[in-house]
Amino acid sequence: MSTKKTPLLPSLSAFFLTILPFITSSILGAWIIQNETLIQNFNIGDWAIVCIVCALACALALIPPTLLAFAFGYFLGWWALGPLILLNLMAIALVYEITKRLDGETLLRYLSQFPRVNALLNRIQKDELSFVFFTKLSPVLPFALTNLVFSLLKIRFSNVILGGFLGMIPRTALAVWVGMEAKELRQLIENPNESSASRVVVIVLVIVSVVGLTRVLVKRQ
């Protein structure tokens, strides 16, 4: 029975982590643009419901958190940081539990058969917190994919939450700031990285993330 699970999860992941998010993001972006006035009139209860729904959507890789951060920043300003970080942590926890139940330890046992891969896994396990932090710090690594990797590698849940929280703060703050600076919602959704300052920050975060991950993955035992 366990041998059938290994090819199933990657196949499903390929669809849910690439094609489906593109479709749902396009639909959501169009809906936000068409309903800007409605969203501006949301009250606290409405935003609470939005956060719960968005946490589930992010966990299922239906919506990228960066798109949400742009929109939340546009409508809520810096007040968006709290709800965004909370819903992202909820999504991380959901993915961690769902993946653990679907895959168990099948894939991890399979990967451990390869010496080089096993050595890499050992390095990650010796510095889980740093690995999660630098992975989440990068604005270019897909949110859902990294959550899936954390669960498949059996990284301790406490390290996933703490590292994810610390790593998401800079990239979430950047996305919120971009949303706040946008003069038009359509321009924000269609061209979120027009600001040269935001591009510089993205490059800096990517460099720091790459350097940090390199130090974690290649350091000597």
Question: What angle, rounded to 10 degrees, do the helices at 157-181 and 81-103 form?
Answer: 140
User: Which two structure tokens, joined as six digits, stand for 62?
Assistant: 């239906």
What average pLDDT is seen over the chain?
Answer: 80
In this prediction the pTM is: 0.79
**Alpha-carbon separation of residue 66 from 1, 33, 140, 170, 193 (angstroms):** 38, 16, 10, 12, 11
| Alpha carbons 162 and 157: distance in angstroms, whole number | 9
Can you give the residue range of the structural domain that contains 106? 2-218
The model's confidence at residue 3, banded by pLDDT at 50, 70 and 90, is very low
- The phi-psi region of residue 195 (left if phi > 0; otherwise alpha if psi is between -120 and 50; otherwise beta) is beta
With cut-offs at 50, 70 and 90, classify the pLDDT of residue 102.
low
Task: Indicate if the pLDDT at residue 186 is higher than 50.
Answer: yes
Q: pLDDT confidence of 13, banded at 50, 70, 90? A: low
**Total count of domains within the chain:** 1
Residue 2 has pLDDT above 50, yes or no: no
Task: Residue 11: count other Cβ atoms within 10 Å of its Cβ.
Answer: 9
- pLDDT > 90 fraction of the chain, expressed in percent and rounded: 26
Asked whether the beta carbons of 23 and 60 are under 8 A apart, the reply is no
Question: Is pLDDT of 177 > 80?
Answer: yes
pLDDT score of 79 = 93
What does the pLDDT average to over 183-203?
75
pLDDT-based confidence at 18, cuts 50/70/90? Answer: low
Mean pLDDT of the region 61-78: 89
DSSP labels, 144-213: HHHHHHHHHTT--HHHHHHHHHHHHHHHHHHHHHHHHH-S-HHHHHH-TT--HHHHHHHHHHHHHHHHHH
The residue-averaged pLDDT of 100-104 equals 64
Give the percent of the chain with pLDDT over 70.
Answer: 79
> In this predicted model, what pLDDT tens digit does every residue of 135-175 receive, in sequence order?
999 888 888 778 878 877 878 889 999 999 999 999 899 88
Residue 47: pLDDT band with limits 50, 70, 90: very high
Out of 72-86, 117-131, 169-183, the most confident range is 72-86
Residue 58's nearest CA partner among 81, 84, 19, 27 is 84
**C-alpha–C-alpha distance, residues 74 and 213, integer Å:** 32
